[in-house]
Chains A and B, each alone.
Chain A
Amino acid sequence: MSPHECRHLLGDLSEYLDGEASAELCAEIERHLADCEDCRVVIDTLRKTVLLYHDLPRPGLPAGARERLFKALDLPI
């Protein structure tokens, strides 16, 4: 990464990805991305990383844990 501008924008990439960056910042980032292959790769792989985690299943309690929990809390199952 070319040190200065890339580093300057690096801290704002999540805001940009989440659609929370100001129009001014978006324009600045997009201008930079047009000329910087490294930052394009970083933002594309960062976006993909976020998508991969959003797709992870959300497991419930493991087998038997619900019963143990209700018992420990003295609640009717």
Chain B
Amino acid sequence: MTAIDQEAALLERIRAGDKAACGECVELHSPGVYRLALRMMRNEAEAEDVVQETFLSAFKAIDAFEGRAGLSTWLYRIAYNAALMRLRRVQPLVVSVDEPLELEDGTEVPRELHDWCCLPERDFETAEARTELERAIHELPEKLRAVFVLRELEGLTTEQAAEALDLSADNVKTRLHRARLWLRERLSGYFAELARVREESAT
């Protein structure tokens, strides 16, 4: 059976009210949905609530699911909307103050131009480096975050991410690119400094 056939079979069982099938669906898809929710909400308890809400809504609306986009994409879409609703409830229409400098076409201008690729591999594998990576995602502007998580961390295609987030494919590409540039700039603050320290101690 192909993955598509397996999903169709699982959907049929869920539609027939089979609780074990619902359990299988939760088992399979809750980790990814949780990771998206956690990156959006930046709070574990809130992320868990979003996951619960997602599956409750999904099972309730399962008859309306057309199967066009794939089950996981559909679940990400429900989760994303649930997370957005919650965020809007907490901070309606707040514009992020940490938005980086933008060009007219929406592209950030790189400012940190020190080359840190030459750092030894072990410098990228430390707990401190890992913390920097996590903190950078945490601080990513909200409108870039979901695209980044789905495309770069969860491995969705441009088309799947566009479907999940209700954006055009071009918009997904642009936001992903801006997210990467933003993260490069943010990480450069840490890694370029480390590279300078290494270079100084080598001379």
Instruction: Say yes or no: A7 contacts B109, CB within 8 Å.
Output: yes
Instruction: Say yes or no: B133 contacts A56, CB within 8 Å.
Output: yes
Instruction: Say yes or no: A42 contacts B184, CB within 8 Å.
Output: yes
By a CB distance below 8 angstroms, the chain A residues around B176 are 14
Docked CA distance A52–B43 (Å)? 23
Q: Is A50 an interface residue (CB 8 A)?
A: yes
Docked CA distance A42–B119 (Å)? 15
Interface size class of A (residues with CB under 8 A): 35 or more
Instruction: Say yes or no: B30 contacts A14, CB within 8 Å.
Output: no
Instruction: Say yes or no: B51 contacts A69, CB within 8 Å.
Output: yes
Docked CA distance A53–B137 (Å)? 9
Instruction: Say yes or no: B34 contacts A42, CB within 8 Å.
Output: no
* Known contacts A11-B177, A42-B110, A73-B55: A65-B184 contact under CB 8 Å: no
Q: How far is the CB of A71 from chain B (nearest CB, A)?
A: 10
Instruction: Say yes or no: A10 contacts B107, CB within 8 Å.
Output: yes
Q: Is A41 an interface residue (CB 8 A)?
A: yes
- Chain B count of residues within 8 A CB distance of the other chain: 46
Partner-B contacts on A (CB < 8 A): 1, 7, 10-11, 13-15, 38, 40-42, 44-46, 48-50, 52-54, 56, 58-62, 65-66, 68-70, 72-77
Instruction: Say yes or no: B114 contacts A41, CB within 8 Å.
Output: yes
Instruction: Say yes or no: A72 contacts B177, CB within 8 Å.
Output: no
Instruction: Say yes or no: B115 contacts A45, CB within 8 Å.
Output: yes
Docked CA distance A54–B34 (Å)? 18
CB-contact partner of B153 in A56, A74, A77, under 8 A:
A56
Instruction: Say yes or no: A46 contacts B153, CB within 8 Å.
Output: no
CB-contact partner of B23 in A15, A44, A54, A70, under 8 A:
A70
Number of A-B contacts (CB under 8 A): 110
Closest to A57 in B: B130
A-B contact list, 5 entries, CB within 8 Å: A1-B113, A38-B110, A41-B114, A58-B153, A65-B48
* Known contacts A14-B180, A52-B124, A52-B187: A68-B107 contact under CB 8 Å: no
CB-contact partner of A73 in B22, B31, B48, B152, under 8 A:
B22
17 additional A-B pairs beyond A49-B184, A50-B152, beta carbons within 8 Å, are A7-B109, A10-B107, A10-B109, A11-B177, A15-B177, A45-B115, A45-B188, A48-B117, A53-B152, A53-B183, A56-B133, A58-B154, A62-B44, A65-B51, A69-B51, A69-B55, A75-B19
By a CB distance below 8 angstroms, the chain A residues around B134 are 56
Please encode chain B, from 166 to 203, with 1 for each CB lying within 8 Å of some chain A CB and 0 for all others: 00000001101100110110011001000000000000
